[in-house]
Each structure stands twice: as structure tokens, then as C-alpha cells.
């Protein structure tokens, strides 16, 4: 009877932990959606202004006429086009971020609506009353120690699940980051041919096609990094004192890196810099992954020790 009650408690506790995790993720995603929606709207206003500035260059004005006489009109046009293109890249990324975050938000809402989370707290209270009654009647030997072992087991199992989810997110992020580096290398090769060897219109078109593909891959990598960062925070929230991940520049890169990369890959030298930045991000993710692997090893050993103690108490 006692073991049955403990098993029911374990199952309910895991479900309650999962529900709490999803609720925290829901709140975090709601904040992210608001922030990225604001950013998207700001970039949309900025893009409209940049496009207006480009259009003004074709209108008749004294300043435009003077620039034509001086031969600087095309230089000004090129500069305005570069600025507009940079803003448009950032705006495209912001639009994708809002879209994908909203999809993720909807997924979390559906998970929370699952029937397995219904009446959890009512069932928990009912179970606690059953246990209390059983203890009054039986008062088993070593019950306090057994209870402590069960509680710790729940914490360890929850931690292991969170670590596994974080490692999966980190692995996916690194795969996408590596793929983006290879795509940027293609764009860089076309850029070399176009810039230094006179590749012509076909090579230029191929370069921009490679950059467009890289943009989409880097967006997916950014989403994967966003999930990775969230999962790592979930792990730390469970046992902040016993598990500290030295994330270094990783969080900073996840926050602002992509704004920079969309501004920098328009010319050959900056494509190279973008590749270096992506490689640095991979290194930071790997550092965190090593920390997670180390903690998993410790927790696996602790779980085995808990099971051994439980068995010893039961068989004594």
C-alpha cells in the first residue's frame, strides 16, 4: 500500500513539475513576443523612412541637381540603398521571429490544455490525505528517510529531463550554425569571384542567392539558440546553487549578434567577419554543453545511489 501511494505521488509530482515548467515558458514567450513585435514595428517604420529617402533621390530638387553636377549622386544612391537593404534584412528577421515565437506560444498553450494536467492539485491534496491516514495507522519504520529519498528522486529526474532538453536544443543550434557558416562560405567564394575576378551578373546573382539561403538558416539558428538559452535557464532555476553554467559571451551573442550579422555580410570582408562570429557562437554553445554533460553525469550517479538506498530500506 505504501509503495503504491509513493508511486502515485511520484507520478503526480512529475506532472506538476512539468506543468510549472510549461507555465514559466509560456510567460517567458509572451514577453519575448511583445519585445520582438515592438522591434519589428520599429524596424518597419525605419524601413519606410529608408525607402522614402531612396525615392527622394529620383525627385527633382536643388540638392539632387548639385550632386549630379558634382558626380556624387550615384554614390549617395548606393549609400542609401545599402542602408535600406540592411534595415530590410533586420526587419525580415524580426518578422520571422515574431511568427515563430507565436507558433511556439500556441504549442505551449496546447500542451498546457492537455487532460493530464487537469485537476492535478485536487488529486495531490486527495493523495496527501490518504498518506496521512495510512501513516497514522501504520507509522512505518524509516518513513521519514524514505520520504526524503522520494522527494530528492523527483528533483533529480526533473533536472535530468531539463538537461536532456537543453542538450537537444544546443545540438540543433550548433548544426544550424555550422550549416550557416558553410553557406556563407559559398557567398564569400562568389563574392571573391565577383569583386576581384569580374564574375559578372550571373556570379552576383548566385552570391545573393547564397546570402538569402544563409539568412534563412541563421534565423533558424537564432530560434534554436533562443530555445537553448531558455532550457539552460530552466536547468539553473531548479538548482541555482549547485549548478552554475559559465555562459560567457553566449547570452550576449544570443541577444544582439544577429543584428550585427545582417548589417555586415553585404561585402566580402564582412562575410568573413560574420563567419568568425558564428564560429565564436558555436564555441560558446559547446562550453555550455560540456557543463550540462558534467552535471548529467553527477545526477545519473546520484539517481543510482538513491535507488540503491531505497532498495536497502525496502529489503531491510
Helix runs in the chain, H state only: 2-56, 62-70, 73-112, 120-138, 143-196, 200-238, 250-264, 268-315
- Residues of 166-186 as b/e, b for ≥16 C-beta within 10 angstroms? bbebbebbbebbebbbebbeb
- pLDDT score at 49: 87
**Tens digits of residue pLDDT in 191-203:** 444 443 344 443 3
* Sequence ranges of the chain with CATH classification 1.10.287: 1-140
Please give the grid coordinates belonging to residue 225: 539558440
In whole angstroms, give the CA distance from residue 285 to residue 282: 5
CATH match of 1-140 with 1.10.287: yes
CB 111 within 8 A of CB 23: no
pLDDT level of residue 142 (50, 70, 90 thresholds): low
Confidence of residue 269 (pLDDT cuts 50, 70, 90): low
Looking at per-residue pLDDT, the higher value among 82 and 279 belongs to 279
Which of these, 153, 132, 94, lies nearest to 307 by C-alpha position? Answer: 153
**b (16+ CB within 10 A) / e for 151-162:** eebbebbbbbbb
Residue 71 corresponds to which cell in the numbers above?
A: 558626380
Residues 152-174: tens digit of each pLDDT: 888 898 889 989 999 999 999 89
Determine contact, residues 7/130, Cβ cutoff 8 Å: no
* pLDDT top residue among 301 and 189: 301
What is the radius of gyration, based on Cα positions, of the chain?
28
pLDDT tens digit sequence for 202-229: 334 444 565 667 677 778 888 888 888 8
* Residue percentage of the chain with pLDDT more than 90: 19
For residue 69 the three cell numbers come to 553636377
Specify the pTM: 0.59
Q: Reply yes or no on whether the pLDDT at 262 is more than 60.
A: no
Query: Which residue, chain included where needed, has cell 532550457?
Result: 231
Calpha distance 137→185 (Å, rounded): 73
pLDDT at position 109 is 95
Domain 143-316 is found in CATH 1.25.10 = no
Q: Where in the chain is the domain with CATH 1.20.1330?
A: 143-316
- Which has more pLDDT, 151 or 30? 30
Please check the confidence at residue 53 and state whether its pLDDT lies above 60: yes
Tell which wins on pLDDT, 101 or 181: 101
- Of the pLDDT bands very low, low, confident and very high (cuts 50, 70, 90), residue 309 is confident
Q: What is the separation of C-alpha 301 from the centre of its chain, rounded to a whole number of angstroms?
A: 29
Q: Which residue has the cell 550579422?
A: 261
What pLDDT, on the 0 to 100 scale, is given for residue 130?
Answer: 83
Amino acid at each position: 500500500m505504501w509503495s503504491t501511494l509513493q508511486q502515485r505521488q511520484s507520478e503526480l509530482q512529475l506532472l506538476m513539475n512539468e506543468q510549472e515548467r510549461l507555465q514559466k515558458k509560456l510567460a517567458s514567450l509572451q514577453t519575448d513576443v511583445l519585445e520582438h513585435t515592438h522591434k519589428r514595428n520599429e524596424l518597419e517604420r525605419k524601413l519606410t523612412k529608408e525607402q522614402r529617402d531612396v525615392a527622394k533621390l529620383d525627385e527633382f530638387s536643388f540638392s539632387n541637381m548639385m550632386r549630379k553636377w558634382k558626380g556624387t549622386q550615384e554614390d549617395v544612391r548606393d549609400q542609401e540603398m545599402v542602408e535600406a537593404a540592411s534595415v530590410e534584412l533586420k526587419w525580415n528577421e524580426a518578422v520571422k521571429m515574431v511568427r515563430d515565437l507565436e507558433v511556439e506560444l500556441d504549442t505551449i498553450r496546447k500542451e498546457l490544455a492537455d487532460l493530464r494536467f487537469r485537476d492535478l492539485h485536487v488529486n495531490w491534496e486527495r493523495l496527501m490525505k490518504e498518506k496521512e491516514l495510512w501513516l497514522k495507522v501504520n507509522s512505518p519504520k524509516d518513513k521519514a528517510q524514505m520520504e526524503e529519498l522520494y522527494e530528492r528522486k523527483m528533483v533529480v529526474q526533473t533536472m535530468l529531463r531539463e538537461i536532456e532538453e537543453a542538450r537537444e536544443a544546443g545540438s540543433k543550434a550548433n548544426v544550424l550554425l555550422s550549416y550557416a557558416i558553410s553557406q556563407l562560405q559559398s557567398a564569400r567564394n562568389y563574392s571573391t569571384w565577383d569583386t576581384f575576378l569580374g564574375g559578372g551578373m550571373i556570379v552576383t546573382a548566385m552570391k545573393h542567392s547564397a546570402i538569402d539561403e544563409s539568412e534563412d538558416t541563421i534565423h533558424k539558428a537564432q530560434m534554436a539558440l533562443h530555445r537553448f538559452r531558455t532550457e539552460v535557464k530552466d536547468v539553473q532555476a531548479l538548482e541555482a546553487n549547485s549548478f552554475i553554467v559559465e555562459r560567457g559571451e553566449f547570452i550576449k551573442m544570443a541577444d544582439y549578434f544577429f543584428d550585427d550579422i545582417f548589417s555586415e555580410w553585404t561585402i566580402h570582408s564582412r562575410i568573413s567577419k560574420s563567419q568568425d562570429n558564428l564560429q565564436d557562437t558555436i564555441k560558446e554553445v559547446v562550453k555550455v554543453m560540456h557543463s550540462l554533460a558534467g552535471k548529467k553525469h553527477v545526477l545519473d550517479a546520484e539517481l543510482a545511489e538513491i535507488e540503491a538506498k531505497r532498495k536497502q530500506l525496502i529489503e531491510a
